[in-house]
Amino acid sequence: MPALALWSALMLACACSAAELPAEAAPPDPAALHYEFGRGLRLGESGFTLGGYVTGEYRRSDEGPEQLKSSHASVFVWWEGWERVKLFAEIDLLNAVGQAQDESYNEYGKPPDRRRVSLERLYGDYIFSDAISLRLGKFLTPVGRWNQVHAAPLVWTTSAPMVTETLFPRSVTGASLGGNLPLWGRAVGYSVYASDGKEWRRDQQEDPFAKVLGGRLVLPLGYDLQLGLSAANYQLWSRHGEPQQLRGVDLYWSRGGLEFSAEWMRTRGTAVAGAEIVPDPEDHGGVAPGDSYGRGARRATRGGYAQGVAPLGGKLFAVARIDWLHDPRTITFVRQHLVGLAWRPNAGTTLKLEYVRPSQVSAQTTQGVVASVSVLF
Amino acid sequence: MRLARLARSGLRRMAGPARAALLAACALAAGAACAADGRLAVIVSANGAPAGGLSLDELGQIYRRKQQFIGNARVQPINLPAQHPLRRFFSQQVLHKTPEDLEDYWRDQYFNGVSPPFVLASEEAMIRFVASTPGAVGYVSLCLADKRVAVVATLEGGPACSK
């Protein structure tokens, strides 16, 4: 039955791709609605644009049951009715349809990944100039590249690198200043953000910031290459006020369908009362000599990934990735290899098939086959 | 002679697919001069020209929607269709990518509420829209630019004018 449903989804995506679709939009007719596949529905000159994406996902773990579900049904809307003001909102219906997962809490203390509605983003921008705009609300945490474009139709794999899902919360509710500074003939992007921890509609799967002050810099190094630097000082709700510092670097290169991306991140914290970690005596591989996890201990979590994409022709791409994570909360070092295929027949549709093999199975990893169909509409 | 040299160098700078599209379009265009010896004009409304024109770097930022303002005015970049020889030449020279190469970029931008430039079907439509729209920026063959618009930059070595 799961295979039949997946096959149906694939056929639907193929039908979409086969249709004659406009490639790009003409200027809006003031009175008309204009829809373009993969670019949204523009409501005339009202300033509103509606868009979103849906993702169906299939997982067949080597050691567990098959799982088929609708992982995301996301709708976003933005408004640009005034020259210097922009409002943006995204709501995501997660796990709307599909088989139930394991109902236990995982080793990070996260509850089961159930059906729910998540407020992903809700913010307003005031654009003083290209160099300075003020953002207030809930927005994606400006750490690394993956987190800013994590939506299924935008990334090459169904599985996300572990480091992008464990080291920091996906979103932050607060304020940021950002923009593009013209330097050396290029636009250097920057963002500085802060939050006092009052998270809007906290997602049960998230461990939000209790407070954060961070920044990100994106340096174009030529027309095909960019370097990103991220830094943040923060506390998480779950870690009893333990102060942590995040430092990260990311690289993105693309040319003629070839792509290489990599991120590396490290967080360092000082354990406070209530946040001590008791090592599992049976986990001999995860505890390095000299590691300390008690109160006052300095401990580091670090991880990264490197991913390559190569075109195979016919809008089919080969993907390979290695990612790794060392996390004292689980006192493990996990390395994960992924090989896969992605087919992008048009601007909005992506079909992916991948095999993932971690060095050990944990809450963040699955060994087996993962496939998905995503449609950006 | 100089134009011919520029044409050859312009063609050499273009990526394979763009060069192929340009030459194919020339081959199909009945009665058109088919050497790549044309000049492309970047145009704005006749009464909205920025002092000092626009540099290629600025144009690159405008067409990636990284630069949204010229002075205090909101800028609205306009493209020709992705297969139009002038569009391919402009994209290669200014953005250093083909329109197809930019597909992933615009997918990412859309997720963050940024749409790609609007597209108009012809150079005449481009001139009319730019002439009547404050802040609009477009491009046409230099030989077609008239007093309705102001030329703020030119690129040499593009497709020949088919006027």
pLDDT, position A2: 45
B113 and A130 in contact by Cβ < 8 A? no
Q: Which residue of B has its CA nearest to A139?
A: B112
Residue with tokens 């083909």: B98
Query: B94 with B80: CB under 8 angstroms?
Result: no
Nearest C-alpha of chain B: how many angstroms from A209?
22
Residue B27 has a pLDDT of: 34
Structural domain span for residue A190: 41-376
Instruction: Give the ipTM of the model, two decimals please.
Output: 0.83
Q: Are the Cβ atoms of B101 and A256 closer than 8 angstroms?
A: yes
- Residue A71: per-residue pLDDT: 81
Say how many domains are in chain A. Answer: 1
Mean of pLDDT values over B66-91: 93
Per-residue CA distances from A62 to A59, A67, A190, A361 (Å): 10, 12, 43, 10
Number of CB pairs, chain A paired with chain B, less than 8 A apart? 92
Q: Which residues of chain A have pLDDT under 70?
A: 1-31, 99-113, 239-240, 271-298, 330-331, 363-364
Q: What is the pLDDT of residue A86?
A: 97
Q: How distant is the Cα of A194 from the closest Cα of chain B, in angstroms? A: 20
Residue A26 maps to a domain: no
In a domain, A35, yes or no: no
| Interchain proximity A27–B103, CB inside 8 Å | no
Give domain status of residue A10, yes or no.
no
User: Which tens digit of pLDDT belongs to each residue from B15-54?
Assistant: 444 433 333 333 333 333 344 568 999 999 888 778 778 8
Query: Helices (H) and strands (E) in chain A — how many of each?
Result: 2, 18
The CA–CA distances, whole Å, from A127 to A46, A133, A136, A303, A361 equal 19, 4, 12, 35, 46
A15 within some domain: no
- Over residues B71-97, mean pLDDT: 93
Is A22 domain-assigned?
Answer: no
Q: Which residues from chain B sit within 8 angstroms of residue A154, using beta carbons?
A: 104, 107-108, 111
Does residue A277 fall inside a structural domain? yes
DSSP character string of A149-184: G-STTTSS-SSPPTHHHHSS-SEEEEEEEEEEEEET
- Across the interface, do A154 and B111 touch by the CB < 8 Å criterion? yes
Residue A32 lies in a domain: no
- Is there a contact between A127 and B68 if contact means CB atoms under 8 Å apart? yes
In a domain, A346, yes or no: yes
CB contact under 8 A, B57 and A149: no
Asked if residues B46 and B147 have their Cβ atoms less than 8 Å apart, the reply is: yes
* pTM for this model (two decimals): 0.81
CATH, residue A189: 2.40.160.10
CA B17, chain centre distance (Å): 17
Q: What is the DSSP string of A216-267?
A: EEEEE-SSSEEEEEEEEEEEEGGGTT--EEEEEEEEEEEETTEEEEEEEEEE
